[in-house]
């Protein structure tokens, strides 16, 4: 964690521009905004959130790159009906460039498919690290947001991606086990990795009141036992259209743009862009990867 000091000194200047629907949304940042979307347990709809949030951001005019970092269980491509031929493992081996493994997704987003080979990131040789960072320099000017779909739980790889990102969104459902595991994730990140700021999104909530109660429970415990702040991002309502979209292997915003869940994702995208970024962001794409592959095991 010794590298954190210099990385946290970076700042981002953002402008506010009007959106097409009359709301105010943030303009394109000077530096790429790096956001990890994570969860304490599987089955909470985290990957669905990533896919639809990415789509919603593209609809606001932003250039979005998505990294599927759910190692061993990478399924973002399946969710969107895509069939990647190559993954980031091919880049690490020197067989392909990042541009060659990227696949286009709905709305113009670009996706970096992952595989279990990403687990070797922390063990790369200096030559491999240099080669990867050289590749990433070519992407720096091409994107406004990097969304990272992490694995679930508190495994070391999940921690690495969350710690290296600029912002962390924790996805939770109203189920007691999900609430407990979400808090456990934030506890580990706060106590062992010095993360002090989280953003909470409640998925599959029946009502706004139910979602706020989930936030209240987690926030109350965090205030008492952790030196961390939690922002409430809102909620995505339970919606049968989401299940139908998954079966169609499409983003719900693409398949059912007018359904309650789609409207909630649009609101979420605008809300995220209007939120102030951390005062000491940990960095853009290059710094994200430098931090990731430089973290000791």
Given a cut of 50, whether residue 144 has pLDDT beyond it is yes
pLDDT category, 260, cuts 50, 70, 90?
Answer: very high
**What integer pLDDT is reported at residue 114 of this predicted model?**
76
Q: How many CA atoms lie within 13 A of 9 on its CB side?
A: 3
Nearest in space to 57 (alpha carbons), one of 18, 17, 15, 28: 28
Q: How far apart are CA 253 and CA 74, in angstroms?
A: 21
Given a cut of 70, whether residue 167 has pLDDT beyond it is yes
Mean pLDDT computed over every residue of the chain: 81
**Phi, psi angle pair for 223, to nearest 5°:** -60, -35
Query: Please, what are the domains in the chain?
Result: 4-294 (3.40.50.300)
Given a cut of 50, whether residue 1 has pLDDT beyond it is no
pTM: 0.83
DSSP string computed for the chain: -TTHHHHHT------EEE-TTS-EEE---SS-EEEEEEESSSSSSHHHHHHHHHHHHHHTT--EEEEEE-TT---HHHHTT---S--HHHHHTTSS-HHHH-EE-GGG-EEE---GGGGGGGG--HHHHHHHHHHHHTTTTT-SEEEEEEEESS-HHHHHHHHHSSEEEEEE-SSHHHHHHHHHHHHHHHHHH---EEEEEEEEESSHHHHHHHHHHHHHHHHHH-S-EEEEEEEEE--HHHHHHHHTTS-HHHH-TTSHHHHHHHHHHHHHHHSPPPSS---SHHHHHHHHHHS--
User: Mean pLDDT, to the nearest integer, of 230-254?
Assistant: 96
Q: How far apart are CA 27 and CA 289, in angstroms?
A: 24
Higher pLDDT, 31 or 113: 113
pLDDT digits (tens, 9 = 90+) for 181-204: 999 999 999 999 888 899 999 999
**What integer pLDDT is reported at residue 253 of this predicted model?**
95
Max mean pLDDT range (12-16, 108-112, 119-123)? 108-112
Given a cut of 60, whether residue 296 has pLDDT beyond it is no
pLDDT digits (tens, 9 = 90+) for 11-67: 233 333 334 444 444 455 567 888 999 999 999 999 999 999 999 999 999 999 998
* % of the chain with per-residue pLDDT over 70: 73
pLDDT digits (tens, 9 = 90+) for 226-240: 989 999 999 999 999
Q: Which tokens hold the place of 221? A: 């415990």
Nearest in space to 173 (alpha carbons), one of 198, 203, 216, 149: 203
**What integer pLDDT is reported at residue 137 of this predicted model?**
66
């Amino acid at each position: 964690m010794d590298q954190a000091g210099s990385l946290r000194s970076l700042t981002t200047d953002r402008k506010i521009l009007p959106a097409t629907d009359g709301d105010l949304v943030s303009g394109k940042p000077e530096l790429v905004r790096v956001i990890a979307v994570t969860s304490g347990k599987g089955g909470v709809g985290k990957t669905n959130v990533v896919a639809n949030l990415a789509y919603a951001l593209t609809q606001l005019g932003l250039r979005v790159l998505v990294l599927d970092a759910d190692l061993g269980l990478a399924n973002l491509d399946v969710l969107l009906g895509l069939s990647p031929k190559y993954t980031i493992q091919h880049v690490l081996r020197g067989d392909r460039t990042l541009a060659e493994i990227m696949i286009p997704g709905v709305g113009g987003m670009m996706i970096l498919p992952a595989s279990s080979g990403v687990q070797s990131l922390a063990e790369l040789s200096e030559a491999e690290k240099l080669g990867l960072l050289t590749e990433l320099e070519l992407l720096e000017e091409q994107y406004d947001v990097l969304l990272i779909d992490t694995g679930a739980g508190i495994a070391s790889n999940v921690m690495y991606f969350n710690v290296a990102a600029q912002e962390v969104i924790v996805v939770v459902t109203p189920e007691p086990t999900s609430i407990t595991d979400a808090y456990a994730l934030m506890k580990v990140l706060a106590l062992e990795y010095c993360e002090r700021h989280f953003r909470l999104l409640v998925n599959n909530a029946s009502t706004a009141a139910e979602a706020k109660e989930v936030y209240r429970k987690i926030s109350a415990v965090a205030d008492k036992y952790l030196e961390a702040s939690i922002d409430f991002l809102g909620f995505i309502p339970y919606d049968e259209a989401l299940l139908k979209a998954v079966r169609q292997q499409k983003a719900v915003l693409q398949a059912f743009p007018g359904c309650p869940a789609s409207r909630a994702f649009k609101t979420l995208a605008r809300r995220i862009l209007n939120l102030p970024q951390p005062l000491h962001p940990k960095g853009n794409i290059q710094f994200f990867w430098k931090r990731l592959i430089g973290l000791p095991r």
